[in-house]
Amino acid sequence: MRKERRGSHLESAKFSADVARCRDTNCERYRLSKLRETVGRRVAEFRRGKFEKKKNKKTKETTTTKKKKEEEKKEEEEHEDEEDEEEVEKEMKDEKKKEKTG
């Protein structure tokens, strides 16, 4: 009888109707339906590209914002390193000029 029905939407509708009748949270059918919902939601999020943006409950940050902050810190450190190198070069040039003139 199930083979006669073509289309998974009919089976899923029947399945969800059966689950709606089942109020017991320990029921296997209920647990399977919840699992199906969460898996379906995660697959949909992954397809939309929102999979990486899952929030960390402790820090309330998304992983993408965390990555952005890390990149910004690295860029700032590199920029500071460049500034330090420039200052050292200037000091060396000044010392050479003082030695030549002095």
- CA dihedral 9→12→13→14, nearest 10 degrees, is 130
- Domain residues for the domain of 15 are 1-73
How many structural domains compose the chain? Answer: 1
In a domain, 33, yes or no: yes
In a domain, 8, yes or no: yes
Tokens of 31: 């647990």
In a domain, 89, yes or no: no
Instruction: Report how far residue 24's alpha carbon sits from residue 18's, in angstroms, rounded to the nearest whole number.
Output: 12
| pLDDT tens per residue across span 41-93 | 888 888 877 666 566 666 666 667 778 888 888 888 888 888 888 888 888 88
| pLDDT tens per residue across span 46-57 | 887 766 656 666
Report the SS3 class of residue 77: helix
Kindly report the pTM of this predicted structure.
0.28
